Amino acid sequence: MDKFKIVTPCHFGVESVLKREITDLGYDIVQVEDGRVTFEGDALAVCRANVFLRTAERVMIQVGRVKATTYDQLFEAVKALDWQKFIPVDGKFWVKKAGTVKSKLFSPSDIQRIVKKAIVEKLKMEYHESWFAEDGAEYPIRVFFYKDEAIIALDTSGESLHKRGYRKNTSKAPISETLAAALIMLTPWNKDRILVDPFCGCGTFPIEAAMIAANIAPGMNREFTAENWTNFIDKKLWYKAVNEAYDIMNEDVDTDIQGYDIDPEMVEFARKNAQLAGVDHLIHFQARPVSKLSHSKKYGFIITNPPYGERLEEKKALVPLYTEIGKRYKALDSWSAFIITSYEDAEKDMGIKATKNRKIYNGMIKTYFYQFMGPKPPKKGKVNEK
C-alpha cells in the first residue's frame, strides 16, 4: 500500500500533544512545525487519523512541497506534481483555502487561481481530455505558503475535526472541542482523578474528558470527505477504523467528572450535548456559581475556561471573579488547577503564582494556560514509614 506524508494542523501551542497522539497510533513523525505535525502513513492511516485524533484540526495528504517566488514558478511546480494519483478524471477539485505568511506571493485568490489552472493542465496531459465535467467525488485542496515554500495538500476531513457532532447547543464563547481535548491532555489528569469545570458553559471540557475516560474516538460518528475517494482509499478501510474504535470503547468506566455553571440554561445545554456525545451518564452537571465550588475529596483537578472580559465593560467584573476563583481553589485541599484565559491579571487577582503557564492561541485570541500544580496522590498500597 502506498505511503503518504499526512499533514495534521492543530492549535498553536499544542503540537506536543498531537505528536504524542500520532505516535500512540503507531506512526512515524516526519516533521513538527508551529501549528502542524506531519507523519508518514498509508490509506488506513488517513482513516484512523480522522477517526481517532482528538487534537488535530483536519487530516491532509501532502501532494507536494514546492518553492516559488513568482506565479510562473508556482504554476510549473504544481503542474509537475502527480495529481493523476489522487484525482480521477471525473473528480471535482478546487483550492478551498490558500494561506500565505512571510512570502513574496501574498494574494490568496491569485494562488488559488494559479494552482487550480496548473492542476487542470496536468490532468489534461494525463487523461488526454480538453475539458473536465467535475461531477464526481470532491477533492478540496489547501495551500499553505511560509517563507516562499508551499505545502500543497488534499483535505481528507471536510468539515474541521473539532465538529464532533455533539455540540448542537453552544454558549457565547465556547472553547473548541479540539483545543479542550488538547488542554486536558496537557495535564496529568486521568479517569481515576476527579475533574471539575466550574465554568462549563455548553459542557465542552467535561464532555471531552468523559470521551477520553471512556476511550470514545472523537470521529467515530461523523462523515469525512475522503470516504468517497474510492480511487485510492478503499471503503473497507473506513469501516476497519470505526470497528477498531468500537472495540476499544468502554462506556462503563467509573469516573467523577462534574460541570457547573451559574446559568441554568447553559447547564441544560451541556446536558443535552453530553447526551448526544453518549457520555451524559459519566458527568454530573449542576447550576452553581463559582463561589459555591467545593469538594470533600482530595487530589482533584479544576480544568476551566472562565470569562476573559474581551469587552471593556466586562473587564470590571473580572477582578472579583478571579479573586473568588483563587479563594475557592485555595480552599480545596491538594487540588491542581488549569485555567485558560487571556486575562493578564489572573494570577494577581487569584493571589496565587502559577507553577507555569503556556501560551496558546484560542482562535485569534492569545491566551495563557495557567497551571497550578498540587501534590501527587500517594501510590495505592503504599504504607507511610514511621
Q: Is 297 helix (H, G, I), strand (E, B) or coil?
A: coil
Cβ-Cβ contacts under 8 Å for 364 (sequence gap 6 or more) = none
138-146 vs 92-101, strand pairing mode? parallel
Q: What is the pLDDT of residue 72?
A: 98
Q: What is the pLDDT of residue 383?
A: 46
Q: What angle do CA 128, 133, 136 make, to 5 degrees?
A: 105
Distance CA 153, CA 263 (A): 43
Residues of the chain with CATH 3.30.2130.30: 4-155
Q: What is the pLDDT of residue 67?
A: 98
Q: What is the pLDDT of residue 317?
A: 86
Q: What is the pLDDT of residue 313?
A: 52
Q: What is the pLDDT of residue 386?
A: 37
Q: What is the pLDDT of residue 311?
A: 59
Q: What is the pLDDT of residue 385?
A: 42
Write down the H helix ranges in the chain.
15-24, 43-52, 71-79, 108-127, 177-185, 204-213, 235-248, 264-277, 312-315, 318-330, 346-350
Q: Are 258 and 292 in contact (CB under 8 A)?
A: no
Q: What is the pLDDT of residue 382?
A: 54
Q: Is 350 exposed, middle or buried (0-12, 13-18, 19+ CB in 10 A)?
A: buried
Superfamily grouping for domain 177-215+234-372: Vaccinia Virus protein VP39 (3.40.50.150)
Closest CA to 203 of 281, 276, 256, 270: 270
Per-residue pLDDT 10s for the chain (386 aa) are 699 999 999 999 999 999 999 999 999 999 999 999 999 999 999 999 999 999 999 999 999 999 999 999 999 999 999 999 999 999 999 999 999 999 999 999 999 999 999 999 999 999 999 999 999 999 999 999 999 999 999 999 999 999 999 998 876 767 999 999 999 999 999 999 999 999 999 999 999 999 999 999 999 999 999 999 999 999 999 999 999 999 999 999 999 999 999 999 999 999 999 999 999 999 999 999 999 999 999 999 999 999 886 655 567 789 999 999 999 999 999 999 999 999 999 999 999 999 999 999 887 788 999 999 999 999 876 544 43
* CATH classification code of 4-155: 3.30.2130.30
Residues of the chain with CATH 3.40.50.150: 177-215+234-372
